[in-house]
Amino acid sequence: MANDQAKELCFHYAFRWPDSRKQDFHISLREESLEIVPEKREVYPEWVRLSYCQCSVCPLKEEDHPQCPIASNLIDVISFAKDELSHQEIDVEIDCEARTYRKKTSLQNALSSLIGIYMATSGCPIMDNLRPLVRTHLPFATLQETTYRTVSMYLLAQYFLWKQGKTPDWGLTQLKNLYGQIQQVNEGFRKRIAAIHKEDAGLNAVIHLNCYAWFTNISLLEKDLDEIKRFFSAYLSSGTS
């Protein structure tokens, strides 16, 4: 008998403070699509409404999407973070399918990693472009790791387009444009939560994400991929077919 229940990919974030305080977040994704399995709610707060500080690049219409898809899935995280200071040092443990990550870091860095999953899997038409990265989620990635993973993902997408007979963007032109839009989504979401936050942890987590989007975009524009190019000498050396 076939199993009717769709397989899920799960992430569990466990925050632990020096004073033994705890906070846990569990994210379930549909394995086939990497779409988040949303929490069922009867009532949504005002700040979740689509038109509330709606992102300037958002293509959604409120009659079709009454709530911002990202905000509606981040209610519990933002509600927790609004009373927290970003610089608090915590221990965070992240359990996922293949491994467990542990790190002593600031609350804002831990939240930034968590929020990044929600933003890429909630159904935002712009952030959906980053969804393939979630399958190989790398918490606390460096700028170079982020650039490498993003460009690799994008070029693989171009390969799939090429296989379908479509025109690929080998020059990364549209990737630069995409990161410009991602910056605007992050900025729009920052404005959305700024109005409700008493403290700065959630706000700074989004700012942290936006900084990475900005620097990744700049690294592409300024051709800083040359820093990564040196690792590919085996492919680029003369005589290699």
pLDDT tens, position by position, 202-228: 667 666 666 666 666 666 655 668 888
Count CB neighbours of 1 within 10 A.
3
Alpha helices by DSSP H, 11-168: 69-73, 75-81, 107-121, 143-163
pLDDT tens, position by position, 57-99: 999 999 999 999 999 999 999 888 888 778 889 999 999 988 9
Q: How confident is the model at residue 16 (pLDDT cuts 50, 70, 90)?
A: very high
> Residue 88 domain-assigned?
yes
> Residue 236 domain-assigned?
no
What domain range includes position 83?
Answer: 9-228
> Residue 237 domain-assigned?
no
| Number of domains the chain is built from | 1
> Residue 15 domain-assigned?
yes
> Residue 2 domain-assigned?
no
Is pLDDT at 1 greater than 60 in this prediction?
no
For 140, counting Cβ atoms within 10 Å of its Cβ (0-12 exposed, 13-18 middle, 19+ buried), the class is: middle
> Residue 146 domain-assigned?
yes
Q: Quick one: pLDDT at residue 214?
A: 64
Q: What's the predicted TM-score (pTM) here? A: 0.88
> Residue 211 domain-assigned?
yes
> Residue 4 domain-assigned?
no
C-alpha radius of gyration, the chain, whole number: 19
